[in-house]
Amino acid sequence: MLKLILGSLALGVGLAMDASAVSMANGLNDNKMRLKKIFLIAGMFGLFQGLMPLLGYMLGHTLYEALDFVEKYHVVPIVALVILFIVGIRMAVDGINCIIDRRKGIEKECEISHLTIKALIIQAIATSIDALSVGIAIADYSVTNAIICALIIAIVTFLICIPSVFIGKKVGLKLGPAAQILGGSILIVIGFIIFFTGIF
């Protein structure tokens, strides 16, 4: 049991890094974010990071052909890159437009790419979809152990994402509109990291 817990904790920390970076980017984008939304972000990332290994575990026992297609054609890294690239570009463009307006002397509240539930779910899927492979790696686990592993991964991700959003918020207050550009850039970089890691 100790080996299972320690192994799951290590997996959780490793898998949470992408979600942590995106959480930080969300904090950069909205430095007025309320506590309720911070917990929602962490909870959503934790939920999907826990669900994906279970999905991979089930697929590993049933749909071998589907998994072979996903791995052969690099579906996971491509989808993650496209999603994070689009969201990141939008966030960065909002920040650039705000800086341009201020240099023109237009004093107004900068438009923020507000994180909707739909956008948050898309982010959570994009950053957790690579965790499907973890489910395949633990295919020899019993159902109970697979659930325990997934639960630990979810909790670890949740706990890591909360301070990440706060860090993003704090930095965002100091950077102003430039924070949106930085946040968008982080999403794009994470997308490419997932892509190249998955391809090579």
Please list the alpha-helical segments (H only) found in 129-199: 132-137, 143-175, 178-199
Question: Would you state the pLDDT for residue 67?
Answer: 57
Radius of gyration of the chain (CA): 18
110/193 Cα distance (integer angstroms): 30
Question: Would you state the pLDDT for residue 23?
Answer: 93
Torsional sign, CA 138, 142, 146, 148: negative
- Chain position carrying tokens 């929602």: 40
Residue type, 75: V
- The mean pLDDT values, 10 residues at a time, for the chain of 200 residues are 88 89 90 91 96 86 59 70 86 84 67 76 86 78 91 96 94 82 88 80
Which residues, other chains included, contact 161 with Cβ-Cβ below 8 Å and sequence gap of 6+?
A: 16, 19, 20, 23, 41, 42, 45, 46
Question: Would you state the pLDDT for residue 93?
Answer: 86
Question: Would you state the pLDDT for residue 41?
Answer: 96
The number of angstroms, rounded, from the C-alpha of 148 to the middle of its chain's C-alpha atoms is 21
Question: Would you state the pLDDT for residue 193?
Answer: 87
184/26 Cα distance (integer angstroms): 9
Contact 140, 7 (CB under 8 A): no
Question: Would you state the pLDDT for residue 124?
Answer: 92
Question: Would you state the pLDDT for residue 65?
Answer: 54
